Homo-oligomer: A and B are copies of this chain.
């Protein structure tokens, strides 16, 4: 009935539970080359997620949640995968992303200010109507 969690590893269902991603999405990410290395398998072919895998998935989730496109996450994964010696490139990629996120935050904050004004206008109009 229950699929055995293989020694030292988690099933895809457990990985899903811990990362908040669906099993479909976890498989999709692996398929698409976003994982650091292919996820391990049991003898019967079932995926085995290690803590390292989950740590990477969480990093990946942060990059995605801040708006990094899949293709760029893939590029970052490729850099990490190819081992030592390209830390400068990885740093550049992350700094680049950071700059874009900051710009985006500033833009959204500015637009939000204007929306807040609008909210204020409706509020005082309604207060005046009450009085």
| Closest residue of B by beta carbon distance from A92 | B122
Of the listed stretches A10-18, A28-36, A40-48, A94-102, chain B binds A94-102
List, in ascending order, chain B residues with CB within 8 A of A129's CB. 87
A107 at the interface (CB under 8 A from B): yes
Oligomer: number of copies: 2
B105 touches A105 (CB 8 A): yes
A116 at the interface (CB under 8 A from B): yes
Q: How far does the Cβ of A123 sit from chain B's closest Cβ, in whole Å? A: 7
A98 touches B115 (CB 8 A): yes
Given A62-B114, A66-B112, A126-B88, CB of A119 within 8 Å of CB of B94: yes
Report how far A119 CA is from B123 CA in the complex, Å.
Answer: 43
A-B contact pairs, 12 of them (CB 8 A): A59-B118, A63-B115, A66-B112, A87-B125, A88-B126, A94-B118, A98-B116, A102-B112, A104-B108, A105-B105, A105-B109, A105-B112
